[in-house]
Amino acid sequence: MPASITRTIFTTLFFSSIFIASPVVAQTFTACNPLNRTDCPHCPALSTNHTFDFLTSTAGPTWNTTAGALVYSEYNGAQFTIADRGDAPTTQTNFYIFGGEVEVWMKAATGQGVISSIVLQSDDLDEVDWEILGGNETFVESNYFGKGNTTSYDRAIWHPVKFTPQDDFHNYTTRWTQEEIEWFIDGASVRVLKYEEANGGKNFPQTPMNVRLGIWAGGDEDNDPEIVKWAGGKTDYSKGPYTMSIKSARVKDYSMGKEYVYGDMTGSWESIKIVPGNSTIEKQLNAPPPLTASQRWNKLSPGARIGIGSVIGVTAIALIILAGIYCVRQRKAGRQERAMADLALENERRELDAYQMRMAKGGFAVSSREVEGGRF
């Protein structure tokens, strides 16, 4: 056994004497368990290696926010925040890997009882975890489960770190094959689990898994007291909000195919069928971005450009002619309106002059129009 692993185990025994048990209840669930049903949906395969950049986007439609809401920042990436009781923002992939690597750049959340998590999980509840406690600045935890077996909690190992996980981003990587699982922190291996070490392979995670990133309050007062103890104590929401940040996630699928199918209800890796064909997820991820207007123009043939230019030129000339005709008509209409206004003004001036002359001669102050109308 490597010396680094031996040191980690001794450290784990010491740390476990402080925290006693480790009942990890992460944000995990399954909509259809293939161990109990034969009609569960097939698992879409990633079938490639891809880096999801949370600094510039929401990582695209291949991720699904299953709880809460995420905020995205060009400096800190995806923000998972607990502001009130019940908050547990989580996102997971719409694809699965069957063996592979998951590399996440994460800054853990602060806060007593607050858990920042990176989880690989299958539909039959195989699980591989990273979990970091908000109140623990010197250790991070790796863990695993097989088929949802929680009869014992002796699988977690606490790894000492020389940095504060809540202060800056660090690289947490999991490498998973059918023979072993290896955990890395900033590129350094900190744990290796062999297939036979997981209860003779019965508890070894071995079925297609998706990736889940999330934050939850293990220290919520409604949780089991052992969970609260493992999480480091009760969570004080008044001191929040508490935020976990993810810059990027690289996911590599070691298998190649369109999708993964459970061949029976055993949950063994041998029972998994790889459906041949092209992965729709891979096609979606590798699809080129839509062309810009200038790129579409540059792709046109010279003849097409000349044709389009001619149409645009003729259209522009026609618009100029129409605009000129409109202006001429408007100018003519304006002259007619001005002439009518001048005539009305001249009539009013003459009427005023006649009125003033009658007044000067002692006549009534009535207009000639009223006299002609027969009112007097």
Enumerate the active-site residues: 127, 131
Q: For 8, how many CA atoms within 13 A lie in the half-sphere containing its CB?
A: 25
- What is the dihedral angle through the alpha carbons of 76, 77, 78, 80, rounded to the nearest 10 degrees? -10
Task: For residue 333, give both structure tokens.
Answer: 């209409």
C-alpha to C-alpha distance for 200 and 222, rounded to whole angstroms: 36
C-alpha to C-alpha distance for 144 and 159, rounded to whole angstroms: 14
CB of 216 within 8 A of CB of 115? yes
C-alpha to C-alpha distance for 15 and 240, rounded to whole angstroms: 27
Q: Are strands 209-217 and 188-194 parallel, antiparallel or unpaired?
A: unpaired
CB of 67 within 8 A of CB of 88? yes
C-alpha to C-alpha distance for 342 and 344, rounded to whole angstroms: 6
